[in-house]
Amino acid sequence: MRSRSGWIRALALAATGVLVLAGCAAEVRSSVAPPGAAQVPCGDLRIAVNPWVGYEANVAVVSYLAKNQLGCTVEERDMTEEDAWTALAAGEIDVILENWGHDDLKKRYIDDEKVAVEHGITGNRGIIGWYIPPWMVDAYPGITDWRKLNDYAHLFRTPQSDGKGQFLAGDPSYVTNDEALVRNLKLDFKVVFAGSEDALIDQFRRAEEERTPLIGYFYAPQWFLSEVELVHIKLPPYTPGCDADPKKVACDYQPYDLDKVLNRSFANSGSTAVTLLRNFQWTNADQNTVASYLTSGMSRDAAAKRWLDANPEAWADWLPEQ
């Protein structure tokens, strides 16, 4: 997974971008191949659950509607991004609800093997990048310019970083460019993994509260950004193809229009869930709201119901026509 360019600015762009996304929704939906069979009752729906809370928010809302509006029997399976693609290709799951790029996997499974299909955008703008807590910007002028990071590397040293500055990554299963960026930009840093999304958030929260230096990987949509306005480090700008060779990456992360991917056989099954999945589209703010409910301890069903009850106009068009 998972820059969003100055988190608040990026979230604002994401919010205004919703109008553009909504305006092109019809075009997106019409580009998806129609099911190969007449619409039939939902039956089983098997959803991959990737390890970040924003994805879990998607699952919560889609699963709740599938069960309570379409009568689906829903199975939610926790797995990494790579494992989800393998399971989708094998017919072991039906849908990946939030795909972050993966052009190599799309080529293999969609274009070459033809066992998966793109199924429209989620409406979320995915941005990945390097970030620091807000307090550091005023304390260390110029620190948001990657070319000055080595001047500040000593601030980030930890027992785990072998005398270098520590760059904090999240879940080791996330597909990231951080080690290549450190190497290719000749930065005096070592990538250290927090271990999970929750651990990454906890360390950024403490860094802001206790005014301790921290630089690390983060992404949007993410509910935590409404709590702490992390500040984006300006890496060399992304241009198409600059990340084509994972070993030679020396540019910022690509921004993504996140999309959904279905197993081809399921997409052609005529299940009413196929229509729900195609039409499912919301905003970064919507996802962050449900994610905040989940992190506060609510169950997926309770979090989904709370958002759905408060926003009936947002999801009414997701369901198949009766």
pLDDT 10s digits, 132-184:
999 999 999 899 999 999 999 999 999 999 999 999 999 998 889 999 999 99
Tokens of 312: 């009936």
Q: Where residue 322 falls among pLDDT bands split at 50, 70, 90?
A: low
Predicted confidence at residue 196, as pLDDT, reads 94
According to DSSP, the β-strands at 73-78 and 116-132 are unpaired
Q: SS3 for 291?
A: helix
Residue type, 278: R
Chain segment 193-215, per-residue pLDDT in tens: 999 999 999 999 999 999 999 99
Predicted confidence at residue 149, as pLDDT, reads 97
Terminal Cα-to-Cα distance of the chain (whole angstroms): 36
Q: SS3 for 162?
A: coil
Cα separation, 38 vs 260, in Å, equals 22
Q: What are the domain boundaries of the chain?
A: 28-125+258-318
What CATH topology corresponds to 28-125+258-318?
D-Maltodextrin-Binding Protein; domain 2 (3.40.190)
Q: What is the pTM of this model?
A: 0.75
Cα separation, 73 vs 80, in Å, equals 22
Tokens of 89: 């290709």
